[in-house]
Every structure is written in C-alpha cells, then in structure tokens.
Amino acid sequence: MPETKNAAGSAINLDTTSFPPLKNDLYLRAARGEKTERAPVWCMRQAGRYLPEFREVRVENDFFNVCRAPALATEVTVQPLRRYADLLDAAIIFSDILVIPQAMGLEVQMVPGKGPHFPSPLETPGDMERLTDKTSTFSVDQELGYVYKAITNTRHALDGQVPLLGFVGAPWTLMAYIVEGGGSKTFARAKEWLFRHRSAAHELLGRIADVAAQFLVGQIDAGAQAAQVFESWAGELSPRDFAEFSLPYLARIAAHVKSRHPDVPLTVFAKGAHYALELLVAETEYDVISLDWTIDPTVARARIDAAAAAITGSGAQTIRRRPVVLQGNLDPTLLFADPQTIRERTDEMCKAFGSSLHIANLGHGMMPGHDPEHLRVFLKAVHSSSSALRRQ
C-alpha cells in the first residue's frame, strides 16, 4: 500500500484502490431508505472539545493545524469510535466548514473563546476580487487535498468499523461568515448584501456552491461513503429569501454530486428552516433531511410524505429515486440532564420518528461542556428504544 509521511513525520495510508471491507453498514442502508434492525446513530461534532482525549491533542496543535495534518485529523476522527465501541454507526471526518473560504483565498482564524474570525471579510462586492477561485491556477483538489488525505487515511484507520462521512458548509452559511467576519446575532451585513447587492450575492453564492460541489466529489473520490451539507444559518432567512438565496445552491451541490456519485447518500441540514421541508423534497436530491430539535418529528414526517405523494400524484417527473429519510433530533442540551431523563427523552424521540426511515442524531452538535458518559447514555438508549420499535 502506498504510504507517505505528513509534516509531523507520521505515516499515513493514501491507497484509494483498496479499503478494508465494511463491517457495519447500518447507516448506509438506512440512508438509502432500506429497512434496518434499529436506527443507526451518530452525532454531529462527535469528535470535539467535550472529549478529554481531543483536548489533549489541541494542547499542542492549533485548530486548523489539526485539520491540515492528515494523521491528526484521523486521530481525532476515530477517538469517539474508540470510546464508544459498537455504539456509533458512522464517523465524520474532522475538518471545518470554513476550509472552503480559506481555499478561496481568505484568512480564517479560530480564536479561543470567540470562534471563527476573518481579519479581512468581504465588506463590499468589489472585495470579491480578492477571491482566488477564478484565477487560472486555482484547483479545489490542490487547495483542499489535505482533507482528501485525511479521509483516505481515516478509511484505513477505521478498518471497516463504520462508514466515514464527508461534509461541506452550504453557500448561504459560508457567505454569512465571509461577509460578517465571523458569527453574528443579526446577520445584518450579510443580509444587506442580499438586498442591496443582489446580483453580487448570487455571484458569490454560486461561486461557493461550485467549490463546495467539487470538494464533496473529491471527498467521495478519496473514500467518503456519504456526505452532509450544513446550512447552519438557514433559519435566519425568511421562507421567500431561503427559496432565492439558499435552496437553489443546495440543489446545485446535490445535483453535481449525484451526477458523479448517484449511489452515495447525501444529507442536508438546513437548521431552522422548517418551512422548507416540502421544497427540499421537491427540488433537491438529498436522501436524508436532518432536523433540529424545534420541530416535532411526527409533523415533519407527515409533511414530507405528503410532499412526496403530491409529486407522485401529479404525474410530474421527479428527481427523487427513493423515500426521504429523516435524521435527528434530540435537543443537545438534554445531554446536561440526568441519565434517566436522557433515556426517557431519547425513547420519546425514537417513537416520534417511528420504526423506519430514521437516523438518530442530536438536533445540532455536541457541546464542549457535555459529559462524555451522558453521550453514552444517549447512544445506548437509541439502540434499546429503536430496536424495540422494530420488533413490535
């Protein structure tokens, strides 16, 4: 097998021609709409600061250095799989949605206690001249090849234990960071772009979408067996503005990836955009729709099934080849509760989703203050409750 050494001197396996056989395909079967013996379960940010072993890695390594060093990215990706052996059904590569703006020529810093910071955000449409994605020498694969190496190496390190997911940030969410210069409570600057510089906003969103789509294809080529698109700030848009400034670009990404990898499951997480469930069903090719904790799964399921039935009943040609699967959606803050409450609320969640077409997850990511053992309670509860549902 071809091996190389990263900057730290650690050997990494970059062989994409032969991966270890997959031992647990529960996540992939569920994401394709197949019946499963229980709901597969994984967690957004399952590799992160709540784990002491992750914090040990970060003591001597800057956040983005971990992302850029394939051996380190592999290490933190597999940490939760070691800790929660036989409880997790998927791994997600350790990276960050903001590697795309970095690849496009912008500086992004991860400031302790503050989060992402852009020293020089795009303040006006004229600032787009600083982006490098339209230069003759720009290459998504060259700029983000370190992520591909991490994915390939991690596939080998997992040894087929579970499938590995890749991911990207969605265009509106990335644009918001790029224009705001970091997180925001109001997103006033980013929304000003939408309404005062509409043409430029669409240009920027389209350019981000094209990079993200190519990046996802590259991740799959490198070994990712499924992928998720994070539209984290979807809920900051009105239904009308979501339909104009988010949905078309989510659809573009999925269409591009599906044209090259039609059988690879894709998930979209449009946090807060409950109003858009029907549009996501009718106008995109995502196999899985991830829900945050603020919507009742029974309501979401009914609306999605009705939307799918309406398309079928109309006789119109549909881009959708299989049933829509739902993912989620326990409130992450419930992991601060006592174990019995976690078990009870997880059981309620599983029952609300029903006995099929469900991938269990939190409604958003793990938090730094979470007790790792409370996550174990959640994972075990999913196994128990979802298995019992399917035996009924």
The overall longest dimension of the chain from CA atoms, in Å, is 61
Active site residue 177: yes
286 among known catalytic residues: no
Choice among 50, 177, 249, 286 that is catalytic = 177
Q: Of 25, 89, 96, 133, which residue is the catalytic one?
A: 96
Query: What is d(CA 29, CA 265) in angstroms, rounded to the nearest whole number?
Result: 9
Is 45 among the residues known to form the active site?
A: yes
* 84 part of the active site: no
One of 45, 68, 301, 343 is an active-site residue; which one?
A: 45
- Give yes or no: 58 in active site: yes
Residues labelled as active-site residues: 45, 49, 58, 96, 177
